[in-house]
Amino acid sequence: MATMIWMEGITQTFHLEGMDLPVLKQIDLSIDDGEYVAIMGASGSGKSTLMNIIGCLDRPTSGLYILDGSDLTTLDDDELADIRNQYIGFVFQQFNLLPRLSALENVMLPMIYAAVPKSARVTAATEALTKVGLLDRLKSRPSQLSGGQQQRVAIARALVNHPALVLADEPTGALDSKTSQEIMNLLTELNQQGTTIAIVTHDASVAAQTKRTIHMVDGKIVEAANGSVQPSANNLRPDAAIV
Amino acid sequence: MKTARSPNPQTHRRKRRKVSLREILIMSIETLWNNKLRTALTMLGVIIGISSVIMITSIGQGVQQQTGAQISALGTNVMVVQAGAARRGGVSQGAGSASTLTWEDARAIAKQVPDAKAVTAFLQRGSIQVVRGNINISTTLLGTDLNYPSIKNIQPQAGLFFTQADLDSGRPVAFIGSTVRDELFRTGESTIGADLRIQGKRYTVVGVAESKGLSGGQDLDDAIYIPLTNMSSQIVGNNALTGVSINGFWLEAADGDQLNAAQFQVTNILRLRHGIKAGDVDDFRITNFVDIMSTFTTVMGSLTLMVGAIAGISLLVGGIGIANIMLVSVMERTREIGIRKAVGATSGSILSQFLTEAILISVVGGVIGVGLGVALAFAVATIFKFPFVVPLWSIGTGFGLSLIVGVLAGGIPARNAAKLNPISALRSD
Ligand SMILES: Nc1ncnc2c1ncn2[C@@H]1O[C@H](COP(=O)(O)OP(=O)(O)O)[C@@H](O)[C@H]1O
Ligand SMILES: [Mg+2]
């Protein structure tokens, strides 16, 4: 199976008031195309920091990151924006919807930046909202929706450009267990259709629904469950050399 | 493997289709519309900035024009010679009341001073009681000769000024100012031939003067003109040793240089006629309006400077207002910028959108601000009765300033926020 994500020696060090704060320490990670992965770990262990790097929302301090054959460290900001737009769907714990836009307009947002014409945007966004069961709430603003509904809008937005990779950082963290399960069902279904998914979660029952769980402690990956192998120097690197 | 959307190196080196300007414009308008309060507040900053610039410069220019008009209304090549000691520092309140000047003096000057184009004598009293029917007013009564209208630029709007025959025989005829007419007559009522009682004596109205308006807070239309001979014999009573005593006379020269020559000649002739010995002070004083004019020109210059300074200050204040609200508005929206970037917006498209919004606000606010500024300037000019002028440069400057400040104050923080990586923008709260 093709490798979707290949990370070698990724570090992330923040600088706070002149102090170096190493948050990620030599992360090696490989995720294959079509995988369904959970990332678990204590609060502050660096899960979000890692997800942000995977999702091209932030750049690592050092290390190699190859996403589906592209060496991302060589890309400029606009090219990273392109990858976020075309290749990745990101779901945040705090939804991050634009409060003044309707559900439909929020979902259409990624397509505006993909230069999709208006009529096609409406069709695709309506379709995505139908998929998450919100066909009747197209015109609602985020404030008029429940937490679960807002997260479903966010998921619709994440998948509207048909990304190969969906990243969800504690997508159920702000939701009750019943709503959480609805969100998980959506993500599971999406994975069954072939989308690679990585979820950060605190919830073991959420992790149990994925096919692999990665544990993080203090900025390091300590074990990868479900028998998957971490990359090492001996493993065959994906064809990044052509970049 | 879904090759169509794989970020293989080739496809990612390719420049992405850019979001069209039209799309950005629509998005900007929608954003402004969806955030009506924020939009209104930002626009208010622009409106206040521009309208205050326009209003203040307009008022400044109006006052300046009015001052200029008042100065030229005084006559440019005239001087007035008044009875009484020359002023030596301080204000001589009783000027013109001592009867040291006579009509004969004025006529001698007219004859003997080559640079005098025309001379007119006057004898005047304030607070004179005038009655018509049961209406009773108090006004200024001015006895003069036939040169007065041309030197003082007074035109009749009805009837005529009194004639040489009226003057020669001291007839009780009155040429009245428009304020006097308004107080004594109803609108449409015929004035010519009507009778008035001035100090109990009967006078016939022969004409009404065109309005001259206010000058230095004084109503130039609140006056009645009668023949000097009549004024002297019937109203004042002659107290001169010889001839007809007057308060003074006006002298008009062909131009400013001749006026200065005339002043010198007048002084000599009057000193001679009055037997004033060398070293003694004059028993008359001369006010030369060319001198006054140059003083006023200096005043006008500083007025222009002041208006410019005020306009500059209001530009600054307006600019700071616009900059401030733009700045706050962009900082508030860093999170929005983060969200847009997270779903794939480039720094460029973020910046385009914010700039478009800033330009829209500046232009729409600018148009409203110009309208409001012009309206306010008009209202102030109407209330305080000075000419309404809106200098085009103030509209241009106000508009240009709001655009520049709007674009800079909206653009620079937007550019900084757009350059943040998405997660830093999202984390800002
Ligand atoms: N931008 C940042 N600047 C400084 N410190 C940060 C930043 N982002 C995260 N951190 C710190 O890094 C550590 C890991 O954070 P995070 O990745 O959010 O942990 P987790 O998601 O596992 O709870 C925390 O101590 C956090 O305070
Ligand atoms: Mg986290």
Per-residue pLDDT of chain B (429 residues; tens, 9 = 90+): 433 344 444 344 444 567 888 999 998 999 889 889 888 888 888 888 888 888 888 888 888 788 777 776 666 688 899 988 644 444 444 444 446 899 999 999 999 998 889 999 999 999 999 999 999 999 999 999 999 998 888 899 999 999 999 999 999 999 999 999 999 999 888 999 999 999 999 999 999 999 887 766 678 899 999 999 999 988 887 665 667 889 999 999 887 778 888 999 999 999 999 888 888 888 898 988 777 777 777 777 787 778 778 777 777 776 787 777 778 777 778 899 999 999 999 999 999 998 898 889 889 988 999 999 999 999 999 998 888 988 888 888 888 888 888 888 888 888 888 888 899 889 876
Answer left, alpha or beta for residue A74, where phi above 0 means left and psi between -120 and 50 means alpha: alpha
Nearest Cα residue in chain A from B344: A85
Work out the number of other CB atoms within 10 angstroms of the CB of residue B38: 18
DSSP 8-state assignment for residue B236:
I
The H-assigned helical ranges of B35-98 are 36-73
| Residue A119: how many other CB atoms lie within 10 Å | 8
User: Tens digit of pLDDT for each residue in B383-421?
Assistant: 988 889 888 888 888 888 888 888 888 888 888 888 888
CB within 8 Å: A100 and B34: yes
What ranges do the domains of chain A cover?
35-59+76-224
According to DSSP, the β-strands at A212-217 and A196-200 are: unpaired
Q: Give me the pLDDT at residue B63, please.
A: 81
pLDDT of residue B257: 79
Contact call for A77 and B346, based on CB within 8 A: yes
Give the count of beta carbons closer than 10 Å to the beta carbon of residue A188.
14
Query: What is the distance between the alpha carbons of residues B45 and B55, in angstroms, rounded to a whole number?
Result: 15
Residues 6 or more apart whose CB falls under 8 angstroms from that of B167 comprise B145, B146, B227, B228, B229
Candidates 3.30.300.350, 3.10.450.750, 3.40.50.300, 3.40.30.10; correct CATH number of A35-59+76-224? 3.40.50.300
Which residues in B250-259 are b (16+ Cβ under 10 Å) and which e? bbbbeeeebb
CB-based pocket (< 6 A), ligand 1? A 14, 16, 21, 23, 41, 43-49
Backbone angles phi, psi at A57, to 5 degrees: -85, -15
Neighbours of B239 (CB within 10 A): 9
* Weakly modelled stretches of chain A, pLDDT under 50: 227-229, 232-235, 240-243
Q: What residue type is assigned to position A14 of the chain?
A: F
Instruction: List the residue whose alpha carbon is closest to atom 4 of ligand 1.
Output: A14
A101 at the B interface (CB within 8 A)?
Answer: yes
Half-sphere exposure at residue B348, Cβ-oriented, CA atoms within 13 angstroms: 13
| Residue having the nearest C-alpha atom to atom 21 of ligand 1 | A48
Q: Phi then psi for B135, rounded to 5 degrees?
A: -95, 135
Rounded CA-CA distance B247/B94 in Å is 11
A206 touches chain B (CB under 8 A): no
Helix (H, G, I), strand (E, B) or coil at B386: coil
Q: Give the closest residue (by CA) to ligand 1 atom 25.
A: A44
* Most ligand 1 atoms within 8 A of CB, residue of A14, A19, A57, A217 to mutate: A14
Whether the CB-CB separation of B282 and B276 falls below 8 Å is answered with: yes
Percentage helix, strand, coil for chain A under 3-state DSSP, each rounded to 5: 35, 30, 35
Please give the backbone phi and psi of residue A94, each rounded to the nearest 5 degrees, phi first: -95, 25
Q: Does A58 touch chain B (CB under 8 A)?
A: yes
- Per-residue model confidence as pLDDT tens digits over B180-223: 999 999 988 899 999 999 999 999 999 999 988 776 667 889 99
- Distance (Å, whole) CA B91 – CA B87: 7
Cβ-based neighbour number of residue B90 at 10 Å: 6
| Total-model pTM | 0.70
- Say which residue the tokens 């592209």 belong to: A70
Q: How far apart are CA B113 and CA B273, in angstroms?
A: 13
**Residue appearing with tokens 């679960």:** A148
**B336 and B418 in contact (C-beta within 8 Å)?**
no
Partners of residue A31 on adjacent β-strands: A5
Structure tokens at A194: 């072939």
